[in-house]
Structure 1
């Protein structure tokens, strides 16, 4: 069920707020055409809070909009503020809202469903056809993102934060929710083995949630050595695999096993002619088989808890890139009776070796964003230093933030850096945030 905005405590005195006040907003008008503008914000309406945004993380979908003014099949048709991984402070309270006080720290869940349809009543509100999601061009007028000084947001979708969760970590509750939803769909049993393809923010968090859920062996794979090293050093995964350059450069998609984003992402560019389709597909399958075999060998290496008879596959593969060849790899790397969870969204139309899934009874499950995850994510972050039953301690999410930009006027630099894997100094770029 959706979280409630009600609570036992009464709101403090609400200071008078003018009917409209000026705020600054970072607004995208076209590809790489990012402008700092003044907007007017009304006082919060019925059931709303006004939140001063403190931290916004940049997601892969935001980068796609920034570069192309589009994200996959979704093309922006009016100026759009980006940003949906956000946290902030309550600065005004609208009528009929209880349980919140001025100054409360909150994480924002930015997808607003209708709450009335059958799918919402089932608790799967992420699938609501009337969903409005901040920084997405799907609905019109577009639901503006959080890269603004302040926004009015339904109190129902504002989650109060304890003092021991930083604003940066709270912003990462959004991609953490994607990871939680993916693991909830996978329902791993204690001692399961897992493979995660893609070591971006969502991939890292998915690996961590797999370990948190009881998976004893979690292997993470990516083309970027720095991200794989980070995953192992910080405890997100137990094993790591770096895709050899000769494989990912010869693949039909040069970004093989590179991280994608959690909502929608841009498909790989490039067109195959009919004459080359069969050859390219077979080449992709051969590459996938090689990758799967090498990843399984890594997972069965020193320190592995996988049984010898499980070297034919892992129990669960989380495909976090959205790339066709990575989906091929996922199918070949998953054992009979296992599951493949489609987390990343990239190539919209894929040709898959379905007989692999058919003959081995591999379940293929998709996820879209998340539902009913924020309260669990907050509880996990509150208890981060406490090991789970298997002794696993959740990594410090603040360490995922590799670069911070101060102020909306520096948003352009943040977006440019977020599209890279290393900065000018050769340092790893993982999660870029814009702070107030």
Structure 2
């Protein structure tokens, strides 16, 4: 454990007692591999960006929040000045300080700790009926909602979700809530497919032995495995949409790009989220039971190493939560 000095609050800042945090795939990569893509850990860094907490102290100029308020935490602190911010593409801010990220140096510490200080603008009150544990799923659900928005109209359309990890199964659940037609989930492991079925998949295929042969209106590639891109392109119908949600490792990726041309496939990258964070909160409050079925393990913060070990085994775990105030 690492003790850090608690600095006095600056203008617009709020101190939180942390409640729950979800372990993300990027947290696992930072822990196991020392980096995610081009983001390399160069100095000690606190992980965690899927977070909820309770307000315990506010700066003198903060309004709208008071000690004791339960909150969800938007992990992005935008610069507000780059071209992307000025054009309303906040999720693409090139100078963003994102909790638990090594994209910039000095790194931006995350929330897997007892107390944390953030800007008031990063906090959201919890809707009535939403508890702090479920609120820790707001961030990954926001990622999913942004990907669906990038894919375009979804109602009644046939959809393939490649990869039934936490993001994949949340995609399935959100697609069901948004009235998609046939929803097919694929994965190499049985547990993720069982969870996907429970969260609304019409069909679940274990691609270790078989794969749906037909084409789909929309394909969400949620594995980030380079070899999976070829099958995602092949399974996207003419005039369809391929939404890339999984993050590839740096470097070239081999794929049948001629099919993107000849089929006029729209290949759309999906990066984080913006206003979808607020939509995710509302959906969690209204459909908590349907959207929390991916949580398989809960650990106390002192047991974080055991939690990371569990989260690394996709045959036995999906979303792993840390109880941060234990």
Q: How would you bin the TM-score normalised by the shorter chain?
A: over 0.9
* Shift, 1:76, TM fit: 0.9
Distance 1:236 1:43 in 2: 47
In the aligned structure 2, how far is the partner of 1:396 from the partner of 1:113? Answer: 28
Determine if the alignment matches structure 1 residue 295 to structure 2 residue 212.
yes
User: Is the Cα contact below 8 Å between 2:38 and 2:103 reproduced in 1?
Assistant: no
Question: What is the match of residue 395 of structure 1?
Answer: 290
Segment of structure 1 superposing worse, 366-375 or 333-342: 366-375
> Offset at 1:195?
0.3
Residue 118 in structure 1 maps to residue 21 in structure 2: no
TM-aligned CA deviation for residue 214 of structure 1: 2.2
Structure 1 position 414 matched with structure 2 position 307: yes
Measured against aligned partners, the alpha-carbon deviations of 1:102-128 in whole angstroms (never above 9, x if no partner) come to: 111111111111012231133211111
Q: Which position in structure 1 is the counterpart of 2:206? A: 242
- Give deviations 1:271-304, integer Å, cap 9, x for gaps: xxxxxxxxxxxxxxxxxxxx6xx314xxxxxxxx
Instruction: Give unmatched runs, 5+ long, in structure 2.
Output: none
Residue by residue over 1:126-183, the C-alpha shift from the partner in whole angstroms, topping out at 9 and shown as x without a partner, is: 1111111111111111111101111110111111103421222111111101100000
For 1:156, the equivalent position in structure 2 comes to 121
Aligned equivalents of 2:225 and 2:34: distance in 1? Answer: 21
| Unpaired stretches in structure 1, ≥5 consecutive residues | 1-35, 246-290, 297-310, 386-393, 423-427
Does the CA-based 8 Å contact 1:80-1:144 persist in structure 2? yes
Asked if 1 retains the 8 angstrom alpha-carbon contact of 2:53 and 2:72, the reply is yes
The answer (yes or no) to whether the contact 2:147–2:243 under 8 Å persists in 1 is: yes
Q: Describe the superposition over 1:70-100 as per-residue Cα deviations: whole angstroms up to 9, x where unpaired.
A: 2223221111111111100000111321111
Map of 2:242 onto structure 1: 340
Match of 1:431 in 2: 319
CA RMSD of aligned residues (A): 1.5
Q: What TM-score does the superposition give when structure 2 sets the normalisation length? A: 0.95
Match of 1:227 in 2: 192
What CA distance in whole angstroms lies between the structure 2 residues aligned with 1:367 and 1:400? 21
Structure with greater contact order relative to length (CA < 8 Å, sep ≥ 6): 2
Residues 188, 213 of structure 1: 8 Å contact kept: no
Match of 1:128 among 68, 83, 93: 93
Change (3 A) 1:364 1:111: same
Q: CA deviation at 1:417?
A: 1.3
Residues 12-38 of structure 1, C-alpha deviations (whole Å, 9 max, x = no match) = xxxxxxxxxxxxxxxxxxxxxxxx021
State the match for 1:44 in structure 2.
Answer: 9
Shift of 1:240: 0.7
Is 2:274 the partner of 1:371? Answer: yes
Question: SS of the counterpart of 1:41?
Answer: coil
2:219 is aligned, of 300, 317, 320, to: 317
C-alpha distance in structure 2 between counterparts of 1:43 and 1:238, whole Å: 52
Deviating beyond 6 angstroms after TM superposition, the runs of 4 or more aligned structure 1 residues are none
Moved more, 124-133 or 336-345: 124-133
Q: Deviations over 1:33-90 (max 9, x none)?
A: xxx0211112322111111110011111111111122222322111111111110000
> Per the alignment, in what secondary structure is the counterpart of residue 164 of structure 2?
coil
Q: Secondary structure at the match of 2:71?
A: strand
